């Protein structure tokens, strides 16, 4: 029987109501008590790392989760991380970069309603997660939610209240679970070499969503605090170029100061392609910048945090950024 470690971090699945709203309060033992059937196919041990709303999760928490998996990697066949849904896609992407080449499953799951409610998605999600984590073919970082198995770098929360909260962006589901059976759409061999663990992630990057009429002086304000900037541009990507070229001057100053610039799109699907329009070609032709293509914003941000924490040379950063990890980019 497979041995699985459940790592609790809080979230809606562990929440109870109060006068100030839902907040995580349940213990691991209480949560497991709602899914007694999992004992039929796996042995579960627990670790309570934190008990917080996922809005409060950040890089230091990702590092703690990665460290928990790393220090216990040899002792368990798989890991199930309970997590709030609001930032779960960021955590799944971050762990994809901190836990690379792993031959065991690291499954993130949670719920849209607490597990002690009469109507809840928590019991199914948790049972499905243990089922997937205990399966011989499973490996890598993924989200299991509403019967979908989504690669850790491809998930996005697309609904705030419905049980089908997550979508996979521009990549197929790895599998689905129907009637407690795993139906795999993508089969890959497990890694045969040793896993590679990382610890450092930098936080000094900013995501700037372009809106019509934005003042380019915002670049100067951001320079005081950040060394990397992700611009969520319009459509396939570009910078406003008409008039006095203020945006191009701002980009020139940003990159000239030794800071990193990454271009992506605010459109949910199909990614960027700066080689189509003049507003993109002009920018990419003249500056050393990175383009996210079909990477999600969640993957782009967390991959940059990992890169900034482990590299300083632009060429090395570029190599790492364009090296696929857990299906994050298709070139």
* pLDDT tens per residue across span 12-42: 999 998 888 999 999 999 999 999 999 999 9
Active site residue 265: no
Cα–Cα dist 321/84, whole Å: 27
Cα–Cα dist 69/60, whole Å: 15
DSSP 210-244: --TT--TTHHHHHHTT-SEEEEEESTT-----STT
| pLDDT band at 244; cut points 50, 70, 90 | confident
CB 11 within 8 A of CB 82: yes
pTM over 0.75: yes
CB 241 within 8 A of CB 247: yes
Counting residues of the chain whose pLDDT is more than 70, the rounded percentage is 100
Joined tokens for residue 327:
């299906």
pLDDT value at residue 197: 98
DSSP 125-165: HHHHHHHHHTSTT--EEEEEETTEEEETTTEEE--SSSS--
> Which residue among the candidates 12, 85, 87, 265 is catalytic per the annotation?
12
Q: Per-residue pLDDT tens for 49-63? A: 999 999 999 999 999
Q: Per-residue pLDDT tens for 100-155? A: 999 999 999 999 999 999 999 999 999 999 999 999 999 999 999 999 999 999 99
pLDDT value at residue 44: 98
């Amino acid at each position: 029987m497979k041995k699985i470690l459940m790592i609790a971090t809080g979230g809606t699945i562990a929440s109870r109501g109060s006068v100030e709203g839902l907040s995580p309060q349940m213990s691991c033992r209480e949560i497991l008590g709602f899914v007694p059937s999992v004992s039929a196919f796996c042995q579960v041990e627990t670790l309570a790392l934190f008990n917080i709303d996922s809005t409060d999760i950040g890089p230091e928490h990702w590092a703690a989760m990665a460290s928990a998996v790393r220090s216990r990697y040899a002792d368990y066949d798989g890991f199930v991380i309970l997590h709030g849904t609001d930032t779960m896609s960021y955590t799944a992407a971050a762990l994809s970069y901190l836990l690379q080449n792993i031959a065991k499953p690291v499954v993130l799951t949670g719920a849209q309603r607490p597990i002690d409610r009469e109507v809840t998605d928590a019991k199914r999600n948790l049972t499905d997660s243990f089922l997937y984590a205990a399966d011989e073919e499973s490996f890598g970082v993924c989200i299991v939610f509403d019967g979908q198995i989504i690669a850790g770098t491809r998930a996005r929360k697309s609904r705030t209240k419905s049980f089908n909260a997550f979508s996979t962006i521009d990549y197929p589901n790895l599998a689905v679970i129907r009637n407690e059976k795993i139906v795999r759409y993508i089969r890959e061999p497990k890694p045969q070499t040793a896993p590679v663990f990382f610890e450092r992630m930098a936080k000094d990057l900013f995501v700037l969503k372009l809106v019509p009429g934005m003042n380019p002086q915002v670049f100067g304000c951001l320079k005081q605090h950040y060394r990397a900037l992700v611009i969520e541009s319009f459509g396939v990507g570009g910078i406003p170029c008409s008039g006095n070229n203020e945006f191009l001057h701002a980009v020139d100053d940003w990159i000239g100061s030794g800071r990193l610039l990454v271009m992506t799109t605010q459109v949910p699907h199909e990614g960027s392609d700066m080689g189509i329009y003049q507003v993109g070609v002009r920018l990419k032709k003249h500056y050393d910048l990175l383009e996210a293509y079909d990477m999600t914003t969640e993957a782009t941000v967390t991959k940059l945090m990992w890169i900034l924490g482990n590299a300083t040379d632009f060429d090395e950063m570029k190599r790492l950024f364009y090296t696929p990890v857990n299906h994050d980019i298709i070139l």
